[in-house]
């Protein structure tokens, strides 16, 4: 413990809070409400993907990583903030100061990396579909996620040496800087660039390219009836009647992920801006109510993603309903949009088709071999089949 009272505390950790009953009431209510909803929602995302086989797609793997990172933020940042509001002092000791600070930055940075990862995955899947057959796979997604967590765990270890608990003039214990605040400017600038500016610039470029591709494909009306031989249309008749196209499926998934990115940018902007400004001024702006607003935006960003999935993804909505119903039914959405698939764990998928209708008006009778299909150019594998699913 240090008694360095002239070193202002880091606003991302635990500044002294207002002693007013009004502030404590509003702070505790908001934080508990947002964090409890976020914890329940993100836990459901993880459980749904882990327990529902058809939900294990490359994109959903990145969403699980994002959900775990959001859980880390809510638990490590949100819940200690409740204790701060109630007691007005740091109650978790020196080890808690180091560990909680580390977990806060770990969750924040992993969430940013996960958003970047699924943005790149969507770009490859839509703009480079042939390459996506080998790049956008569940196994590769797991390796990328593992690498992201290892890199971020190592990167965030610096905070174990940069913070300490301090005793203020009024006797309150704070978790803040170990050294002078101006020495942290390079760290905050690097964080701001790597985990906020670069991901957003990359997202703007990639989603712009994705939108262009989807717009061009929509103009050509590339539906399932266009890309599959007419021989098989009878097998997909019910799906065709719904008018669902490849473009609309990709567009819906991409729109949902784009909303996640936009909310990430907007909800993190107040906090990131405040940290950046306070890094350059001699007296940091530490108004308790504005800090509460910034924190609430961060917690809301970590809590709102499951709500977005439920609102914009039919697969997630059905999976959530099945999870809450607790009926043990994991086959929630039925056959895939494009085919009825009988697949094993390795090798190409086996496609089965219903018998064709009786021949009318003297048309040629299809042979038995016509019901068996071999797709050329390594068209579909188990992993490729999952690329457009959510």
Query: pLDDT per residue over 88-138, tens digit each?
Result: 788 999 999 999 999 999 999 999 999 999 999 999 999 998 998 888 999
Please report the beta strands in 242-313, taking only residues with DSSP state E, as ranges in sequence order. Answer: none
CA nearest neighbour of 388 among 206, 207, 121 = 121
Q: Return all residues near 37 (Cβ < 8 A) that are at least 6 apart.
A: 303
Please check whether residue 15 lies inside any domain of the structure.
Answer: no
Q: What residues have CB less than 8 Å from 22, skipping those under 6 apart?
A: none
Write out the residue range of the structural domain in which residue 353 sits. 21-385
The whole-number average pLDDT for the span 297-325 is 88
Q: How many whole angstroms separate alpha carbon 104 and alpha carbon 96? A: 12
**Token pair of 74, please?**
């809510």
Report yes or no on 9 lying in a domain: no
Does some domain include residue 117?
A: yes
Average pLDDT, the chain: 77
Q: What is the mean pLDDT of residues 16-33?
A: 82
Instruction: Please give the Cα distance from 355 to 133 (Å, whole number).
Output: 30
Contact 114, 145 (CB under 8 A): yes
C-alpha span between 222 and 233 (Å, rounded): 15
CATH number for the domain that contains residue 61: 1.20.1070.10
In a domain, 4, yes or no: no
Predicted structure pTM score: 0.75
Closest CA to 15 of 148, 161, 175: 175
Residue 76 domain-assigned (yes or no): yes
Count of the separate structural domains present in the chain: 1
199, pLDDT greater than 90: yes
- State pLDDT tens for residues 252-301: 888 899 999 999 999 999 999 998 888 888 888 888 889 999 999 999 99
In a domain, 346, yes or no: yes
- Dihedral (CA of 11, 13, 14, 17) sign: positive
Torsion angles phi and psi, residue 286, rounded to 5: -130, 40
Residue 12 inside a domain? The answer is no
Residue 281 lies in a domain: yes
Determine the Cα–Cα distance for residues 208 and 132; give it in Å rounded to an integer: 19
């Amino acid at each position: 413990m240090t008694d360095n009272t002239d070193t202002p505390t880091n606003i991302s950790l635990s500044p002294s809070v207002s002693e007013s009953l009004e502030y404590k009431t509003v702070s505790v209510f908001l934080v508990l409400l947002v964090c409890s909803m976020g914890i329940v929602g993100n836990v459901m995302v993880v459980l749904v993907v882990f327990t529902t086989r058809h939900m294990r797609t490359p994109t959903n793997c990145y969403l699980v990583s994002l959900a775990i990172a959001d859980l880390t933020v809510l638990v490590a940042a949100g819940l200690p903030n409740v204790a701060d509001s109630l007691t007005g002092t740091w109650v978790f000791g020196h080890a808690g100061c180091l560990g909680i600070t580390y977990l806060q930055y770990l969750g924040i940075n992993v969430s940013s990396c996960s958003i970047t990862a699924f943005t790149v995955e969507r770009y490859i899947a839509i703009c480079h579909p042939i390459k996506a057959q080998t790049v956008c796979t569940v196994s590769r997604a797991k390796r990328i996620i593992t690498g992201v967590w290892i890199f971020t765990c190592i990167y965030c270890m610096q905070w174990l040496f940069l913070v300490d608990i301090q005793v203020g003039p009024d006797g309150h214990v704070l978790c803040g800087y170990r050294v002078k605040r101006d020495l942290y400017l390079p760290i905050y600038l690097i964080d701001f660039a790597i985990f906020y500016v670069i991901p957003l610039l990359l997202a703007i470029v990639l989603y712009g390219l994705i939108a262009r591709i989807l717009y061009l494909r929509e103009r050509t009306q590339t539906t399932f009836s266009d890309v599959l031989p007419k021989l098989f249309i009878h097998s997909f008749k019910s799906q065709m009647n719904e008018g669902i196209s490849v473009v609309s499926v990709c567009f819906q998934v991409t729109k949902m992920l784009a909303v996640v990115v936009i909310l990430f940018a907007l909800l993190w902007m107040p906090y990131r801006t405040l940290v950046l400004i306070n890094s350059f001024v001699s007296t940091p702006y530490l108004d308790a109510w504005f800090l509460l607003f910034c924190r609430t935006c961060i917690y809301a960003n970590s809590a709102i993603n499951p709500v977005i999935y439920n609102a914009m993804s039919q697969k997630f909505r059905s999976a959530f309903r099945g999870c809450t119903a607790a009926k043990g039914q994991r086959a929630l959405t039925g056959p895939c949009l494009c085919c009825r698939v009988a697949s094993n764990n390795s090798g190409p998928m086996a496609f089965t088709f219903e018998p064709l209708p009786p021949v009318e008006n003297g048309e040629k009778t299809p042979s038995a071999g016509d019901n068996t299909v071999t797709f050329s150019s390594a068209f579909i594998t188990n992993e490729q089949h999952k690329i457009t699913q959510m």
